[in-house]
Amino acid sequence: MASAMASNNRAEQAATATLLLENVPLRGSFASLVPLLSQRKVCDLGCNQGHYLQFAGEGSVGLDVSAESVLACSQKGLCARRHDFNSLPLPLPDASFEVVLLSHVLEHVTMPLHLLRECNRIVQPGGTLIVGLPIEDGLYSRLRMDYFGGGEGHLFSFSLRNLRKLMTLTGFAEQRVICHLPRLGNRLSAWNERLVRIFGDRLYTLSAAYWFVAQKIASPVADTELSDYFSR
C-alpha cells in the first residue's frame, strides 16, 4: 500500500515537472538541472518570472532587477525581491543556500568577478553554483546573430575557458557542463553529458548556450593575489 502511494506520488511529481517545463526557457538543457533544484533551498539570481525558481524547494528566494518579474513571481506564490546586481553586497545572509542559480545575468553586470564572490558567500560550504551563459563565439551564434538579441545589453562575453578561470578565482570547482543545442535540445537532453564527454569543447562550439555546474570548495582568491594569479 505504502509503496503504491509512493509510486503514485513520484508519477504525479514527474507529470507536474513535465508540465512546468513546457514554458521554461532553454528547457531542453535545463531539464538536466531540475534534480539539482528540487527539494533544495535555492537562490535564483535573475529569477525573471520564476521559470526556474518554481522547481526549487522550500525557503528558496529569487532576486531580479525588474519589478514586473518580482510581481509575476509573487503571483505564482514564489518568494522574490527586487535588486540591482550592480549593487553589492547582495542583501542575503552568509552560507544560507544549498544552490545558487545565476542564469544569463553574469554577462550583464559591471563586476562579474565580484558577483561570483557574492555567490560564494551566500552558498553553503560544498554547495552548488549553476551559471547559465550564451555562447557568443560559437558557430550557432554566428549563424543566428538574433538568438540572444544580438548580444544587446551584454557587457561581457564568457568563453568556457574564461569562465573556468573565474570559477577557480572565486572558490568553485567544475562538476559538469551542459550544452544547449536549440531544436535538438529536447531530444538530446538525456544524452547531453555523454555527448560532452565524447566531443568535449567541440560540442560547446556548436551550441547556443551552456550551463556550468560547480561546487564551492574554498574562499575566493584575495585581491592582493589576483595579479600573481594572472601572471602565471
CATH number of the domain that 118 lies in?
3.40.50.150
Q: Do the domain assignments include residue 41?
A: yes
The more confident residue out of 5 and 213 is: 213
Domains contained in the chain, number: 1
pLDDT in tens, 17-67: 454 566 666 666 788 899 999 999 999 999 999 999 999 999 999 999 999
Residue type, 129: L
pLDDT at 173: 98
Helix (H) or strand (E) holding 165: helix 160-169
Which of 75-89, 117-131, 191-205 is predicted with the least confidence, judged by mean pLDDT? 191-205
pLDDT at 153 over 50: yes
Domain membership flag for residue 20: no
Q: 11 lies in a domain?
A: no
pLDDT for 5: 44
Its pTM stands at 0.82
H-only helix segments in the chain: 2-21, 27-30, 34-37, 67-75, 112-122, 139-143, 160-169, 185-188, 192-199, 201-206, 223-230
pLDDT above 60 for 231: no
Helices (H) and strands (E) in the chain, counts: 11, 7
Closest-CA residue to 76 (of 90, 92, 55): 55
pLDDT at 159: 87
In a domain, 216, yes or no: yes
Whether 17 is in a domain gets the answer no
Residue 52 CA to residue 29 CA, distance in Å, equals 12
List the domain range (segments joined by +) for residue 73.
26-230
CA–CA distances in Å: residue 32 to residues 28, 107, 141, 189: 8, 23, 22, 7
> Is residue 64 a contact partner of residue 92, using CB atoms and an 8 Å limit?
no
Domain for residue 9, yes or no?
no
Residue 76 lies in a domain: yes
Report the percent of the chain where pLDDT is more than 90: 53
pLDDT of residue 137: 72
Helix (H) or strand (E) holding 61: strand 61-64
- Conformational region of residue 9, where left means phi above 0, alpha means psi within -120 to 50, and beta covers everything else: alpha
Highest mean pLDDT among 159-163, 214-218, 221-225: 214-218
For residue 105 the three cell numbers come to: 545575468
- Domain-located, residue 14: no
